[in-house]
Amino acid sequence: MKGVEVLGTPPPRQMHLGLFILGTGSHIAGWRWPGAVTDFSDLGAIQQIARTAERGRFDLIFMGDNLYADPGSHPSYTLRLEPLTMMAALATTTKHVGLGATASTTYGDPWSTARAFASLDHISGGRAAWNAVTSTNPAAGANFDKPLPEHAERYERAEEFLDVVIRLWDAWDDDALVADRATGVYLDPKKLRAIDHVGRHFKVKGPVNIGRAPQGRPIVLQAGGSAPGQALAARTADVVFTVTQDIEESKAAYRAVKERMPAFGRTPDQLAMLPGVMPVVGRTDKEAREKLAILQSFVDSRNGLQLLTDRLGFDMTGYDFDGPVPELPQTEFSQTFARVLLDKARRDGLTLRDLYNLNAAARGHWVLCGSPETIADTLQLWFEERAGDGFNVMPPWFHDGFDDFVDGVVPILQERGLFRREYEGTTLRELLGLARPQP
C-alpha cells in the first residue's frame, strides 16, 4: 500500500550450540570407552574435536578450568592444557567456531585478563570469549596463597573485576592506530585513554597495550546460578551456561535472568542462555540406554564419591548409600550444583546412590539419553518452551561420543529449521546475533 512501510517477517528463532570440552569426556569414566581420548593435553586430539565442532556448525567451544590438581577427581580436572593457551592454538587451525576460555576473577587480575582476551580476539579474528568465574573450591587457594573468599565477597570482587575489564577493552577507539609514515604519528593519543580506576578490590590505571578487539569486546560468558550470579549475568553477560535437571526448573532460571535485564538497560535478546546437557546417542533409545549403563559400570567409586563431595561441599563417605539423601545446609562452595542436585533428589525421592550415579554421569548436569530423533525432540521442546536459547553440549567421551551428536542429532535440528546449515558472519558476536559495542 502506498505510503505504508511493509516490514519483513522477522527471521525464525534458532538455537545456539556450545561445546563444553573436557578432553576425556564429561562422564567421569568416559575415557574408559574403547578408543576414547585419554589425554587432555594431546593437542592433536583437541584439534580434531574443534574440527568436528566446526563441521557441526557450533557457535563456540568452551573450556572450563581447574586451579588445582586432584588425582581422585575427574581426570580432565587434573590433566589439561591452560585454557587461553589452548584456545590460541586452536585459533590457528579453525576458521569459524568461537573460542571460550575460563579465567578466575578471584585469583586473576583485570589488566592481565583484559589484555589476554583482547589478544585472543585479535589472533582468532574476533572469536574470543571469556568465561568469568568466581572459583568455588577452597583447594585452589593453596596455590595462590589466598584463602577462598566467602560467596558474597567473591561476587562483589567479580562485579568490580568485570567493570574494569570492560572499561579497559573500551579504552581504545577503533581508529587509534594511525601509523602515518609522512607525519610520524603512530597512535592518536586522544583515542586511547587511561581509566584511572580506584575501587575496593582494584586500582588500575590502564589502558592495556593491545588495540581494540575485532569484536569491540570479546564475548563474556558466565555460569553462576545463585541470585548474585543471576544479577551479574543480567548486567554483564552475553552467554550464560546453566545447570539444570528439569525443564520447569530451567524455564524458571531463564525467566529469572531475562527479567532482570531491563533494569540494566538491556533487552532479553542480548543474552543467550544455554543449559548444559550430556547427550548419550544410540541408533535406538534402547542402544543409548545400554551405552549409558556401560559408562556407569566404568565408574570408580572413589572418584565418583570425591566428585559428589566436591559438588555438595560435604564429606559424603559416612552416609548410607542406599538411604535417602540427607538434609544438607547450603555451603559457601558450588552453590548452584548443590542446589540443583539436592532439589532433584527431593523431587524424585532419590537415594544417595542414585545421586552419586547421576553426578558421576555428568558432574551434576542433565543427562539426555536416546536415539537422534528422541534427543532432537527433547531439545526442540526445551527450546520452544523457552527453557533455553540453545544448549551447552557436553559429550560423554571423545571422539565417537561427540561424533554421534554432530552426525545424528544436528542434521535433524537443521532439517527442522532450528539450527544453522552454514556459518554466517565472521565473529562470534555475529554468530550470536549480537551488535558490536561502541567504546
Q: Which of 266, 265, 264, 269 is nearest to 254 (CA)?
A: 269
Model pTM above 0.85: yes
What does residue 37 show for φ and ψ, rounded to 5 degrees? Answer: -65, 135
DSSP alpha helix (H) spans, 259-300: 285-297
Q: Which of 391, 397, 316, 392 is nearest to 354 (CA)?
A: 316
d(CA 261, CA 145): 36
What does the block give as the cell for 134?
Answer: 568466581
For residue 12, how many other CB atoms are within 10 A of its CB?
7
> CA-based Rg of the chain, rounded to a whole angstrom?
22
Q: Angle formed by the axes of helices 352-362 and 301-312, to 10°?
A: 90
Task: Show the beta-strand stretches assigned E in 282-365.
Answer: none
What is the CB-side half-sphere exposure of residue 206 using CA atoms within 13 A?
Answer: 28
Q: Which helix (H) or strand (E) is 281 found in, with range?
A: strand 272-281
Distance of CA 335 to the CA centre of its chain: 17
Q: Which helix (H) or strand (E) is 203 found in, with range?
A: strand 203-204
Question: What is the DSSP code (8-state) at residue 264?
Answer: G
d(CA 174, CA 18): 29
What does residue 390 show for φ and ψ, rounded to 5 degrees? Answer: 155, -160
d(CA 201, CA 205): 14
Could you list the pLDDT tens digit for every one of the 439 residues in the chain?
Answer: 334 444 455 678 999 999 999 999 999 899 999 999 999 999 999 999 999 999 999 999 999 888 888 777 788 888 889 999 999 999 999 999 999 999 999 999 999 999 999 999 999 999 999 999 998 778 888 899 888 888 889 999 999 999 999 999 999 999 999 999 999 999 999 999 999 999 999 999 999 999 999 999 999 999 877 788 889 999 999 999 998 888 999 999 999 999 999 999 999 999 999 999 999 999 999 999 999 999 988 887 665 566 677 666 667 777 766 777 777 666 555 556 666 667 776 776 777 776 766 666 666 778 999 999 999 999 999 999 999 999 999 999 999 999 999 999 999 999 999 999 999 999 999 999 999 998 8
Distance of CA 344 to the CA centre of its chain: 22
d(CA 251, CA 158): 26
